[in-house]
Amino acid sequence: MKNVIEIKNLKKKYDNFTLGPINLNIPSGLVIGLIGENGAGKTTLLKAILNIIKSEGEIKTIPNSEIGVVLDNMFFPEVLTPNNINTIMKSIYETWDSKLYFKYLQDFNLDSKQIIKKMSKGMRKKLEIITALSHQPKLLILDEATSGLDPIVRNEVLELFQDFIKDDEHSIIFSSHITSDLEHIADKIVFIDKGQIVLDILSEELLDNYGILKCKKEEFKKITKTDYISYKENKYNYELLIKDKKKIHKKYPDLVIDKITLEDLMILIIKGEKVC
């Protein structure tokens, strides 16, 4: 499996924040879910990949013409209409597919003559996604691409992304705070916290091996510290993040181990108490 992106020792320094060093490979044919709290460095990483910001280190990517982009902030001038965008994009991309573009507009109930200024946030986001897909890229880079969309449209967009990724020639990097969307389509999870990658793991491996061990205070005191990554004390119990459910269940058969979600993972790593 070839890589569409290879990152070595990427660093970006600001006055009060440093991203990196980041080492990361993005294989072709996968959806990469990028998670982390606000300010963790996700958008900085995406902008460095796209060369929107300058950074240290080495980034190898496919040509920009083969990358479709949906960033968190709308980048089209508000006086444009979808018709205007079609005209502009035809002059930029040799691979631009007007027929596909107008089909998407129809599928998502967007008026080709309406100016962007009069569109809702959800309509604008759909237009961004449609535009990113219509020049037939090999890689989609998405930053909060489903924010502002209602659940029905979000599901339609996720199905669109799944169609895009069906063959091994297409890839997606998808940064989102809607972790349920990533659980639905991501093949791999990259977790960034305070500018560092703290977890880079296949989704299947994460779901199969990680879990949340729940116990009472007296039971918590008896659990070996090396058996969990972090913990959170609640009003009536403790929640422990574990990464080997089979081993832990065998060692503590009377304790409950719940399935983990990406939201659980983030909370227990970011807000949980780390093992000393």
Domain borders along the chain are 3-204, 210-274
Strands 273-274 and 230-233: what pairing? antiparallel
Q: Phi and psi at residue 184, in whole multiples of 5°?
A: -75, -35
Average pLDDT value for the chain = 92
Least confident stretch, 23-27, 145-149, 179-183: 145-149
- pLDDT number for residue 152: 87
Q: Does domain 3-204 have CATH number 3.40.1390.10?
A: no
Strands 256-258 and 67-70: what pairing? unpaired
Residue given tokens 């977890």 in the structure block: 199
- pLDDT number for residue 97: 95
**Residue 81 has what DSSP assignment?**
-
List the beta bridge partners of residue 58: 8
- pLDDT number for residue 103: 95
* In the chain, % of residues over pLDDT 90: 72
pLDDT at 267 over 70: yes
pLDDT in tens, 90-129: 999 999 999 999 999 999 999 999 999 999 888 888 899 9
